[in-house]
Amino acid sequence: MANTAQAPTTRNESCQAEIGVIGGSGFYSFLQDVTEVEVDTPYGRPSDSLFLGEIAGRKVAFLPRHGRGHHLPPHRINYRANLWALRSVGARQVLGPCAVGGLRAEYGPGTLLVPDQLVDRTKARAQTYYDGESAVDGKLPEVVHMSFADPYCPVGRTAALASARGRDWEPVDGGTLVVVEGPRFSTRAESVWHASMGWSVVGMTGHPEAVLARELGLCYTSMALVTDLDAGAETGEGVSHEEVLKVFGANVDRLRGVLFDAVAGLPSNASRDCLCAHALDGIETGIALP
Ligand SMILES: [Zn+2]
């Protein structure tokens, strides 16, 4: 994609991107010909501009989840605006790499887990578009109860797993991501409880990202990089932010490679036939989706 003075970018113009990636700037900053696009939404501004680029011939919109400079803590991210913005530029499949804590000793730092289940332990986040009161273009949404039994796209998961294996990084296939409100890390008691429930990893951003994607009929795939053992699974001082950043930094190149291969491995938007693609079939939302 050219980064030159072509037609000014119009919002809501479809097909500027096929695939959305919500992650840090480490995932796109080195790409050539990245176009920065500011998007506004009925829910306010997303975390940052969208950065449009191309990987393996696929148009991708990158969105820094925490904003440039990482100024947004997980509980202050405007998740509704983020997913809406990605859909508004044409993205129908979303990859959401994130940093997590391992809840089992065998899921040490550097483990890549592609979860197939989610537990929401957040407390104060807007987590639906269909609340009957947030107007879009003057119209009120209906109250909709979306099926969310299987929160992740099976096709996206398969692509992510295959990409990791293709780069000799044996991923953990499946597991439960429990999402906490943050920004603090868990106490030992919380961590022991999470592990005792059989959950695999703990993070702060996977919810409501996944459910909002589903509400917009988007495919969503989480790729969870373990940066530390959570408080109940290790014996030291507990998790520190420095520790998380260090492990993430050491693995970001690897994760980027997997992410890019996964982008290349996703189906075309037109050929999607997964449960996410049909999530809105027969549902009256009351509002026009972008
Ligand atoms: Zn899907």
> Does residue 233 contact residue 191 with C-beta atoms inside 8 Å?
yes
Domains annotated for the chain, with CATH where assigned, are 19-271 (3.40.50.1580)
Write down the pLDDT at residue 14. 47
Residues shown for the chain: 290
User: What secondary structure does DSSP assign to 184-214, as a single string?
Assistant: SPPPHHHHHHHHHTT--EEESSHHHHHHHHH
In the chain, which stretches have pLDDT less than 50?
1-14
E strand or H helix at 244? helix 241-265
117: tokens are 């289940």
pLDDT per position as a tens digit, 137-168 = 999 999 999 899 999 999 999 999 999 999 99
Q: C-alpha 187: how far from its chain's center? A: 25
> Which pLDDT does position 8 carry in this prediction?
39
Ligand 1 midpoint to CA 267 (Å): 10
Count CA atoms within 13 Å of residue 33 on its CB side.
12
Q: What are the structure tokens assigned to 249, written together? A: 């930094």
- Measured CA to CA, the distance from residue 82 to residue 66 in angstroms comes to 11
The answer to whether 138 and 80 have CB atoms below 8 angstroms apart is no
Annotated binding site for substrate: 204, 228-230
How many angstroms does the Cα of residue 116 sit away from the middle of ligand 1? 12
The pocket of ion ligand 1, defined by CB under 5 A, consists of 153, 219, 274, 276
Q: Write down the pLDDT at residue 28.
A: 81
Residue numbers annotated as active site: 228, 230
Phi, psi of 103 (to 5 degrees): -100, 0
Q: Can you give the pLDDT at residue 237?
A: 67
Amino acid sitting at position 203? G
Beta strands in 3-150 (DSSP E): 19-23, 35-37, 50-55, 58-64, 93-102, 112-114, 117-121
CA of 65 to the centre of ligand 1 (A): 21
Ligand 1 midpoint to CA 217 (Å): 8
Q: 215 C-alpha vs ligand 1 centroid, how far in Å? A: 12
Residue set of the binding site = 25, 65-66, 204-205, 228-230
Measured CA to CA, the distance from residue 102 to residue 173 in angstroms comes to 14
pLDDT of residue 9: 42
| Closest CA relative to residue 275, chosen from 217, 207, 209, 223 | 217
Alpha carbon distances (Å) from 281 to 9, 146, 149, 217, 230: 31, 11, 16, 9, 40
Burial class (CB in 10 A: 0-12, 13-18, 19+), 260: buried
Task: From 194, 205, 212, select the one nearest 151 (Cα to Cα).
Answer: 212
